[in-house]
Amino acid sequence: MTGRLLSPLTRRILIVNILPLAILVAGVLYLDEYREGLIVAELAALETQAEIFAGALGEGAIGTRPDGAQFVLPNVARPMLRRLTAPTRTRARVFAAEGSEVADSLFLTGQGGVVQVETLRPPDGSDAPTTVFNGIYDLFVALLPTGERLPPFPGSVPLRASDLPIAVAALDGGVGTSRWSNEAGGMLFGAIAPVQRFKQVLGAVLLTANSDDIDAAVRAVRFDILKVFAVVLALTVMLSLYLANAIARPVRRLAAAADRVRHGHGEADEIPDFTRRRDEIGDLSASLRDMTEALWQRIEANESFAADVAHEIKNPLTSLRSAVETVARVGDPAKQAALMDIIQDDVKRLDRLISDISDASRLDAELARGEMEAVDLGRLLPALVQVHETALVQGTGGSGDNTGRQVPTLAFSGESANCTVSGIEGRLVQVFQNLISNARSFTPPGGKISLSVRRDRGDVVVNVEDQGPGIPADSLDSIFERFYSERPEGESFGRHSGLGLSISRQIIEAHGGAIHAENIDGTGGRRLGARFVVRLRAARP
């Protein structure tokens, strides 16, 4: 990520910001209506001048032959053309009625014959930077495609009217304009008008002018556009670099911090905090910090879980090993039977531990992949109570357990409508089964376990109450920790792994809810039992 002059993101931002500006400027330079307007105005002016020249020649440069025929006097037309074109940069030619060229403003007649006059351009006084800039401009303009291809101006000397279609039309009495390309690669404009005397066409006068003035005006406008473009381009580049740095630099820092965390060289707080930016980078920073914190908590939880599992499995394994080693040395059948009971209890405890550990290890993945659906607790809990009661009757044939003792009864009360939540039904059933099983283990024989459900504003609240000895005040929260092992007296060894309540809290919190335990106190501070409260967010109708 380092060692590059411009990052890929910076290059993309520069391209995205500069390209539309460059296209806009190129379009303005190419689709130049200002230049076309100047050309139209130039042609109109030339046409007016041609008509004026034709009128002047028709009045002052017409001679009469002995046979009475009139014609244009070349010796009179030449100085007139010279004087008329002197204030302008135009060239004037006169064609006789038969189409031959009889006068040209660039050719003077003197004692030495005909002399061609060429107007020289003023010397270029530009400095070196201006010359370089002009060269770059000319190269850029040359790359722009032209809108039309003009025919070249005829190069024959002297010129004949038949060389120009507009001259042929002018000798028939028409007025016209045209454009050509000249030898220098520029544009040449022309306008022609018939020379008439008493409505008789005696010739035609052609005025031509190059595009130097128009090119200079267009160049000046384009220079102004390019100057503005240069300023805007500089500002665009600076702002783009600032924007790219404001985006790329924190992203690079986030990526570097993530790499350090990935390689194990950093902690969760290594991720920079950009939440003060109040933008998407800040959101990304907050999400990465939360994700990293969650990953570290998961790693620490896995390490703690592995240590707890090792500890919990080690105890029954130690007991099992001791019993196995002892049973081989004991000859008394009664003691051997007692040791075999211990071995069976340890095996049962190991089996229960392994089953619950396996369930707990898969829980996160199953909750993440599970599909949330509407679960009506007003119907689920009564059905769950009925299933427990039916299983008890079928298993024992009455209200007692396998030893003949009375077992706690299970009752449901509360609302049955508007108690729908969004969740995974199988896991919610597991929670309530765990709570019922826990309540059974603490409720004395013949006692009562109560389930109730009610609506509390936007939540659905489920209470599971027993008539047991209650919970020590300092253990109301710790009972939800893994492998919590405080059990009632008289419960057979190995029936509970200590993971039920921990799994229940994990499931409820994954559903966005909460679970807690509290004692039921009676008059005089007498403890009547324990209550487990599950609070879940009600599903939207």
Query: Is pLDDT above 90 for 447?
Result: no
Q: What is the mean pLDDT of residues 3-28?
A: 78
Please provide the DSSP assignment of 70-134 as one string.
EEE-HHHHHHHHHHHHTTSS-EEEEEETTSBEEEETTEEEETTEEEE--PPPPP----HHHHHHH
Cα–Cα distances in angstroms (integers) from residue 118 to residues 85, 89, 155, in the given order:
13, 11, 16
Average the pLDDT over 290-299 and give the result: 80
**85-89, 266-270, 457-461, 474-478: which range is least confident on average?**
266-270
CB–CB of 81/73 below 8 Å? no
Of the CA atoms within 13 Å of residue 384, those in its CB half-sphere come to 26
CB of 470 closer than 8 Å to CB of 530: yes
pLDDT of res. 1 = 47
For residue range 485-508, list pLDDT tens digits in order.
665 554 444 455 677 888 889 889
User: How many other C-beta atoms lie within 10 A of the C-beta of residue 496?
Assistant: 22
Burial class (CB in 10 A: 0-12, 13-18, 19+), 377: buried
Mean pLDDT of all residues in 182-198 = 88
In three-state secondary structure terms, 330 is: coil
185 and 60, same domain (yes or no) = yes
- Nearest CA to 42 among 195, 187, 159? 187
Residue 404 shares a structural domain with residue 312: no
Give the end of a domain, one of 369, 385, 414.
Answer: 369
Distance between CA atoms of 321 and 310, rounded to whole angstroms? 16
| C-alpha to C-alpha distances, 422 to 413, 459, 507, 511, 512, nearest whole angstrom | 21, 11, 13, 8, 10
Residue 525 lies inside a defined structural domain of this protein: yes
What would the mean pLDDT of 346-351 be, rounded to a whole number? 79
28 domain residue, yes or no: no
Q: How far is Cα 168 from Cα 243, in angstroms, rounded to an integer?
A: 66
Check whether residue 160 and residue 304 sit in a common domain: no
Q: How many domains does the chain have?
A: 3
Q: How confident is the model at residue 192 (pLDDT cuts 50, 70, 90)?
A: very high
- Lowest mean pLDDT of 213-217, 300-304, 468-472, name the range: 300-304
Q: Are residues 417 and 538 in the same domain?
A: yes
Name the one residue in this structure whose structure tokens are 């003023």: 122
Specify whether 60 is located in the same domain as 162: yes
How confident is the model at residue 370, as a pLDDT? 76
Same domain, residue pair 363 and 457: no
Mean pLDDT value of segment 431-439: 89
Q: Is the peptide bond before 250 cis (omega within 30 degrees of 0)?
A: no
What is the pLDDT at residue 108? 64
Residues 388 and 534 in one domain: yes
- AA letter at 435: L
Q: Give yes or no: residues 360 and 384 share one domain.
A: no
Q: Is the dihedral of CA 34, 36, 38, 41 positive or negative?
A: negative
Q: Which of 308, 334, 369 is where one domain is finished? A: 369
Say yes or no: 102 and 132 in one domain: yes
Note whether 336 and 434 are same-domain residues.
no
Q: Of 154, 183, 211, which residue is a domain's last?
A: 211
Strand 448-456 with 373-376, pairing:
unpaired
User: Residue 352 sits in a domain of what CATH number?
Assistant: 1.10.287.130
Instruction: Note the pLDDT of residue 535.
Output: 95
Work out the average pLDDT over 443-453. Answer: 88
- Residue 255 placed within a domain: no
Residues 331, 337: Cα–Cα separation, whole Å = 11
* Distance (Å, whole) CA 80 – CA 57: 8
Note the pLDDT of residue 372: 86
In this predicted structure, the answer to whether residue 429 has a pLDDT above a threshold of 70 is yes
Q: What is the pLDDT of residues 370-424, one digit of tens each?
A: 788 999 998 999 988 888 877 766 555 445 555 555 678 888 887 767 889 999 8
Instruction: Give pLDDT tens digits for 78-99.
Output: 889 888 888 888 999 999 999 9
- Under the banding of pLDDT at 50, 70 and 90, the label for residue 288 is confident
Q: How would DSSP label each residue in 42-80?
A: HHHHHHHHHHHHHHHHHHHSEEE-TTS-EEE-HHHHHHH
Alpha carbon distance 408, 467 (integer Å): 9
Q: Is residue 5 part of a domain?
A: no
Residue at 156 is within a domain = yes
Show the domain range for 74: 46-115+127-211
Work out the average pLDDT over 244-272.
76
340 in any annotated domain:
yes
- Residue 89 is part of a domain; what is its CATH number? 3.30.450.20
pLDDT digits (tens, 9 = 90+) for 388-403: 877 766 555 445 555 5
Predicted pLDDT at 514: 94
**One domain for residues 322 and 470:** no
Is 519 within 8 Å of 470 (Cβ atoms)?
yes
Distance from C-alpha of 370 to C-alpha of 375, rounded to nearest angstrom = 14
Size (the chain), residues: 541
Residue 306 lies in a domain: yes
Give kind and range of the element (H or E) at residue 528.
Answer: strand 527-537
Contacts of 206 (CB under 8 A, 6+ apart): 50, 92, 93, 94, 95, 164, 166, 167, 170, 190, 191, 192
**Is the domain of 177 the same as that of 306?**
no
Q: What CATH number did the domain enclosing 425 receive?
A: 3.30.565.10
